[in-house]
Each structure stands twice: as structure tokens, then as C-alpha cells.
Chains A and B, each alone.
Chain A
Amino acid sequence: MSDRKEKTFWAVVSLSLLTIVWFFASQMESMKTLLPNPVDVFKFLVAGAISPIGQHNIWGHILWSLSRVFVGYTLAAVCGIVIGSAMAWTKVGEAIIKPFYLLLRPIPSIAWIPLAILWFGIDEKSKYFIIFIGTLLIIMTNVYDGVRSVDKNLLGAARMLGAKENQLFFKVVLPSAVPQIFSGLQVGLGAAWATMVAAEMIRSSEGAGWIIIMGQNSVNMVQIYAGIILIGVVGLFLVTAMRFLEAKLCAWNIRGK
């Protein structure tokens, strides 16, 4: 507990120090156009929480972004777990799926954006698709590794006690792969958020990424910084929420501590 208090103390100290350095740097003549005053950025965020920037206020933009992430991410999580376990557990599944997996994995999610726009137009569907494809491969990788690294002794014991193949999978393999799957879900969520920002910066009319790109288009440095801080805070919140969920759901797992 005191360890935690110490950490919080240092976090407050170092973050306030950063803000102070930022403040004085922004007061320098040569930095004026590059670095806005942190007070202005803070004021902008507070004002944006009440009155709209563009079509929505800050909460509206965050909700738009989160809804995009949610749709793409949920689809990717379900498909990733199903396809990943099919690839890891059955030999035929591996023979069919793995070539495609190996072909698609080195292509970064952002490289799909032009194709997604050609396929789905510039509306929501293309954003869902980009988030889906980026997250899917990450989750698949973790599910595959998790299912593959099941303790052979456990499998042997279950077989000896007469478990059928599908029992083996649902009662032994899947539970023991949960920690790995969870770490995939966590990394995937971070990646989904980052991809969403990219997708919104390239084409959108609302969302957290839009705030930044609009700031750039209207040469409003305060808005750019506000948007970046917003993205960081929401990202931090998502990761923390996921860790909390893991600690609650997989309490037996050391990783959850």
C-alpha cells in the first residue's frame, strides 16, 4: 500500500514538473507558434466539455470514437478467438487458415485504409473494417500461442480419464489459454484505439482524431494539443479498465496482479 502511495506521489510530482516546464517553454518567444500555453489547452478542454467543437462537444466526440472502436473490436475479439483456436487446435484448420494468416500479418492495419475506402466508401463501415482487421490478427496471434502452449500433461491426464476431443478443448485447453487470450485482448484494445485515431484523421467528420486534424487544418495549436491529451487520457482509461477486468475475471492468474 505504501508502495502505491509512493508511486502516486512521484506521478503527481513528475507530471506537475512536466506541466511547469511546458508552461515556461511556451512563454519563450521562439516557441510561441509551436507550443501553446498549457493553461489555454486546459481552458479549451473545459470549454469543449460544455460547448460543442464542430458538431459535438468533447463527450460526443469521445462517444463517436468509442462506438467505432467497440463495433470493430468486438467483432475482432469474437472472430479472433474462434479462428485462432480453430487454427491452433485442429490440424486441418491450421493447414487452411495459417497461409492466409502469414500473408496478412505483416501488413500494418493502416495500410488497409485506402482499400477499405474503395470497398466500403468513407462512412462508418470502412472504419469498422480497419479496426477489425488490425485487431483480429493481434488477438489471433495470442489465442494461437495460448492454445498451443497448453500443458501436455494436462491433456494426457484428461484423455486418460476419458474426455472427448471437444470436452478436452472446452474444459482444459480454453481455460488454460485464458491469460494469453486476455493479454491479446488488452494489446488489441490499445491497437484498436490507435487505428481508430488514424482512420479518423484520414477521413471523418467527428471523433477524437477529427479534433486533431481539424486543429491542423485551422492552424489551431491549442486544439491539436487538446486532442492529443484527450486521446492519451481515453487510451489510458481503456487500458486501465481492461486490466481491472482481467484482475476481476482471472483472479487466479498472477498476471492479473
Chain B
Amino acid sequence: MKRLKINKFRVISAVTLCVFVLVWYLVTAVFGLFPKTMLPSPDSVFFSFIKKLTSTVPDGGTLFEHIFASLVVALTGYVIGVGVGLPVGISMAWFRPVDHFVRPVFDFLRTIPGIAWIPIFTVWLGIGLSAKAAIIFVGVFVGTVVNVYSGIKQTNEVHIWVAQIFGASKIEILKRVAIPSALPYIFTGLRVSLGMAWLGLIAAELLAAQKGLGYMIQVARNFGRSDLVIVGMITIGIMGALLTLALEFVERRVVKGI
């Protein structure tokens, strides 16, 4: 009985998606209500996708080259951002003087979106890998620090007391009690910042780049190739989802017993 019910809603989902694609096809390919530069038909998006796997028109790169370029930039900025954000967040939460000094500056900096730094980083670092990685770094750094900070702050005080009674030093308590208990928060931070890295990357590539998925949709827009814009957007979405899935896989391996 219960299984039947689930199937019924699965069917509704499938039907809605089919109806959506059918309506999309009807208004574009059959009735031609929208010009091609605004809304391409679903089949032309599909064929552009297949073609883009090997073709370098009009932006000088195949889909895989763009994906690879984007991944390199995003992961560089992400790894550095996490690498710096973790120790900063932990020391802000654990050592009061650091908290006093760094917190106000951090609270101000976090309200500035990573995108706003683009002009400064392009002056400092040019438009190569390092400038784009720096933009991503800012977003990832903020996301990591916020979550790590609140994770460490939420450590159960009773656990800290117990550790103190058994004679653990402050560093030992941090290593053995606070960080392990903050792991779920830390992973939330890693996941949130991965999303931010991907967003910052697209922004950076829209404004200054010669390769990458963001660059690809920007060029496609200039040529009025809405089919390629949609191919690019779908690829961006799929890559973002895949990265999140990979991180969740690692999380399940590392965070046990919670």
C-alpha cells in the first residue's frame, strides 16, 4: 500500500517534467513564440551540448577544456581558503585575545561580497589564475571561518570541564574535545564554502577570463547563442552538484558516530 503511494508521486514528478519539456518544445520549435536568441528549443540545446563536447566554436575551447579550466581555478581558491580559514576560525573561537582583535575586522569584511574585490585583485594580480583564485579565496575563507567559529563555540562545556579535571592543557582540550565535536559544523562550513567557491568562480569568469564555463556563457551571450548559454548553465549546475556530492562522501567517511 505504502509503496503504491510513493510510486504515484514519482509518476506525478515524471509527468510534470515531461509536460515542462513538451511545453518548452511547443512554444519554441512548433509555434515559434520566442526568437531563437531568447529561448532555444530543447532539442537544439541537446544537440549543442553534444556538439560542444568536441567543437571549439565560438569561444575557443571544448566543453571539457572549459570545465577543466574552471575546476582548476575553483579548487585552487577553495583549498587555500579552507587552509587559511580553518586555523583562523579555530583560533578566533578558542583564544579570546584573537577573538577581540580579529572579529570586528572580520565582521566588516564578511559583508563585502567576493565579487566586489574583482577590480582590486585584477589590479594586484592581473587576470590570470591567481586573481580568480583570490576572489574565490575571499568567499571560501569567510564561509569556513563563520562555521568553524560557531562549531568550536558550541563545544559542550561539561566535556571541557571533564578534560580539565583530568589535567588536559588548553591545546589538548582543543585537539581532543573541541575540534572533534565541531566536525559536523566544520563540514557544513566546507560545504557552504564550496557553493561560494563555485559562485565566485562564475562571477570572476564573467568579468575577466579567457577560458572557463563562466567565460563560455558570456561569449555565447555576446553571440546571441542562447542554446549554448543554457548548455553552460546546466553544466555549471551539474559540476556544482557533483562537487557537493564528493564532499558529502568524504564527510560520511570522516564524521562517524554522529
Q: Nearest residue in A to B112 (C-beta to C-beta)?
A: A232
Report chain B residues within 8 Å CB of A112: 233
User: B250 CB to closest chain A CB, in angstroms?
Assistant: 18
Which of B16, B217, B230 sits near A96, CB closer than 8 Å?
A: B16
Q: Nearest residue in A to B104 (C-beta to C-beta)?
A: A11
Contact present for A108 and B198 (CB under 8 Å) = yes
Contact present for B214 and A10 (CB under 8 Å) = no
Binds A, one of B23-31, B82-90, B175-183, B238-246: B238-246
How many angstroms between the C-alpha atoms of A239 and B253 in the bound complex? 36
A111 part of interface (Cβ distance < 8 Å): yes
Contact present for A201 and B199 (CB under 8 Å) = no
User: A97 CB to closest chain B CB, in angstroms?
Assistant: 8
B37 part of interface (Cβ distance < 8 Å): yes
B41 part of interface (Cβ distance < 8 Å): no
With A14-B105, A224-B120 as known contacts, state yes or no: A96 contacts B12, CB within 8 Å. Answer: yes
Report chain A residues within 8 Å CB of B217: 111, 114-115
Q: Once A and B bind, how many residue pairs between them come within 8 Å at the CB atom?
A: 150
B221 part of interface (Cβ distance < 8 Å): yes
The secondary-structure label for the interface of chain B is: helix
Binds B, one of A54-62, A78-86, A99-107, A162-170: A99-107
Size bracket of the B interface = 35 or more
How many angstroms between the C-alpha atoms of A225 and B124 in the bound complex? 13
Which of B118, B122, B233 sits near A107, CB closer than 8 Å?
A: B233
Size bracket of the A interface = 35 or more
Interface residues as binary, B219-258 with A (CB distance below 8 Å gives 1, 0 otherwise): 0110010100110111011101100100000000000000
How many angstroms between the C-alpha atoms of A197 and B119 in the bound complex? 12
Interface residues as binary, B52-73 with A (CB distance below 8 Å gives 1, 0 otherwise): 0000000000000000000000
Interface residues as binary, A213-242 with B (CB distance below 8 Å gives 1, 0 otherwise): 101100001001101100111011001000
With A10-B101, A224-B120 as known contacts, state yes or no: A108 contacts B202, CB within 8 Å. Answer: yes
Contact present for B9 and A92 (CB under 8 Å) = yes
Report chain A residues within 8 Å CB of B3: none
Contact present for A115 and B240 (CB under 8 Å) = no
A1 part of interface (Cβ distance < 8 Å): no
B207 part of interface (Cβ distance < 8 Å): yes
Report chain A residues within 8 Å CB of B226: 115, 118
How many angstroms between the C-alpha atoms of A190 and B107 in the bound complex? 13
Contact present for B12 and A194 (CB under 8 Å) = no
Contact present for B237 and A99 (CB under 8 Å) = no
With A94-B9, A232-B112 as known contacts, state yes or no: A115 contacts B122, CB within 8 Å. Answer: no
B169 part of interface (Cβ distance < 8 Å): no
How many angstroms between the C-alpha atoms of A96 and B115 in the bound complex? 34
Contact present for B237 and A107 (CB under 8 Å) = yes
Q: Nearest residue in A to B19 (C-beta to C-beta)?
A: A96
Which of A13, A98, A108, A233 sits near B13, CB closer than 8 Å?
A: A98
Report chain B residues within 8 Å CB of A215: 119
A-B contacts, 12 of them at CB < 8 A, read A10-B100, A10-B103, A15-B105, A15-B108, A94-B9, A108-B199, A115-B230, A198-B115, A215-B119, A228-B112, A231-B111, A232-B109
16 further interface pairs, Cβ-Cβ under 8 Å (given A107-B233, A108-B195): A15-B105, A100-B20, A110-B199, A110-B202, A111-B214, A114-B220, A118-B37, A198-B113, A198-B206, A201-B115, A201-B116, A216-B119, A221-B123, A224-B119, A236-B107, A239-B111
Q: What 7 pairs across the A-B complex have the smallest Cβ distances?
A: A194-B113, A114-B221, A235-B111, A216-B119, A11-B104, A95-B12, A108-B199
